[in-house]
Amino acid sequence: MGDGVGQARKAKSAAGRKTGGEPQSTAPTRPVAKPKRATGTQTNKKAATRTAKAEKGYKPLAPERVKAILAELDRLYPKVRCALHHNSAWELLVATILSAQCTDARVNMVTPVLFKKYPTPQHFAALQPEALEPDIRSTGFFRNKAKSLVGAAKRIEQEFGGKVPADMEKLLTVPGAARKTANVVLGSWFGIAVGVVVDTHVHRISRRLELVGKSSNDPVKIERDLMKVLPQSRWIDFSHQIIHHGRSLCVARGPKCVECPMEPLCHATDKTWSTVEMHKNAR
Ligand code: SF4
């Protein structure tokens, strides 16, 4: 993971040296075209014609564009895995519940101690939620999370014979498991693609790459839109790859567009650097 990004960074910084730019700088060496909507201030006739042409041919959901994005993700983030450490479906379920409003790194610090103390759903089911709170306090929202974990363990013990069910409908009856959690467990442990994990990175980047509707703000709607546009065989890996991309380059504030190999495919309005003609309705 990250090799492609490294190469792209090296190539861009080498280009900088050739043209006399600061060796340590990541500043662009080509003329910077700040992303703008192609309306209003564009008085130049030639530019207007160029934009109109680009607009005409630009289809954010064109199969070849989606294919190009997926190919770039594969190149950048091959062999992606779920970042939450786990050794069973139960451990992954617990880690995913704990990861709400918390970093994966923090969850990965908490879970080894937790699973050493309480190795199975039976152990969790026998607890009062208050007993779990000190162990998971650092992940935030620990009271609710403790209730969810004990509730989930009881449900799995009583309804599913102590085994996490490999079924979306059943998983959705487990306390603390909404669609995102269920998709993580089904995709990353069971290898079953029934949906797309939509976390904060997938939410933000799917919109930046215009893979989902302009007004998509609801994770369920975003997931539905992604399921329409992505081949089912990519539903699991896509989320992992986008999450990696969101951490390394396409960060929430100040995305590192100058270093991003997907930049020529991207029309996000909050790009920090652009080489492409922005289409009029860029999102
Ligand atoms: S070009 Fe910028 S906004 Fe677009 S995907 Fe890359 S980092 Fe994100």
DSSP 147-166: HHHHHHHHHHHHHSTTS--S
Nearest CA owner, ligand 1 atom 1: 263
Does the structure show a pLDDT above 50 at 11? no
Query: CB neighbours of 189 closer than 8 A, spacing ≥ 6?
Result: 86, 88, 89, 92, 164
CA 12 to chain centre: 25
| Average pLDDT for 172-177 | 98
Query: Taking all residues of the chain, what is their mean pLDDT, rounded to a whole number?
Result: 85
CA R_g for the chain: 22
Burial 85-123 (b: 16+ CB within 10 A, else e): bbeebbbbbbbbbbbbebebeebbebbeebbeebebbee
Number of the ligand 1 atom closest to the C-alpha atom of 255:
7
Query: Any idea which architecture 89-163 has in CATH?
Result: Orthogonal Bundle (1.10)
Long-range contacts of 268-273 (CB under 8 A, 24+ apart): 268/35, 268/207, 268/208, 268/209, 268/210, 269/35, 269/37, 270/35, 270/208, 271/35, 271/208, 273/28, 273/32
Show the tokens assigned to 5. Answer: 């990004």
Tokens of 11: 């190539």
pLDDT level of residue 214 (50, 70, 90 thresholds): confident
Spatial contact of 234 and 195, defined as CB atoms under 8 Å apart: no
Pocket of ligand 1 (CB under 6 A): 208-209, 249-250, 255-257, 260, 262-263, 266, 268, 271
Q: Is the pLDDT of residue 199 over 70?
A: yes
* Statement: residue 279 has pLDDT above 80: no
Mutational pocket test of ligand 1: of 242, 249, 269, the residue with most ligand atoms within 8 Å of the beta carbon? 249
pLDDT at 164 over 80: yes
Distances (CA, A) of 135 to 107, 130, 131: 11, 10, 8
**How many other β-carbons are positioned within 10 Å of the β-carbon of residue 272?**
17
Ligand 1, atom 4: closest residue by C-alpha? 266
Res. 16: pLDDT tops 70? no
Ligand 1 centre to CA of 78 (Å) is: 18
Residues in Cβ contact with 190 at an 8 Å cutoff, skipping those fewer than 6 apart:
89, 166
**Cα of 243 to ligand 1 centre, how many Å?**
13
The atom of ligand 1 lying closest to the CA of 263 is: 1
Residue 81 CA to ligand 1 centre (angstroms): 22
* Range with the largest mean pLDDT of 43-52, 118-127, 268-277: 118-127
- Which of 72, 209, 271, 279 to probe ligand 1 with, by most ligand atoms within 8 A of CB? 271
pTM of this prediction exceeds 0.85: no
Residue 241, token pair as written in the block: 């790859």
pLDDT of residue 14: 40
Residue 127 has pLDDT above 50, yes or no: yes
Q: Among 12, 260, 267, which residue has the most ligand 1 atoms within 8 Å of its CB, making it the best to mutate?
A: 260
Q: For 195, phi and psi rounded to 5 degrees? A: -170, -175
Cα of 225 vs centre of ligand 1, distance in Å, is 20
Better pLDDT: 93 or 217:
93
pLDDT category, 57, cuts 50, 70, 90? confident
Q: How confident is the model at residue 45 (pLDDT cuts 50, 70, 90)?
A: low
Q: Where are the domains of the chain?
A: 3-80+253-265, 89-163
The stretch 251-260 carries a mean pLDDT of 97
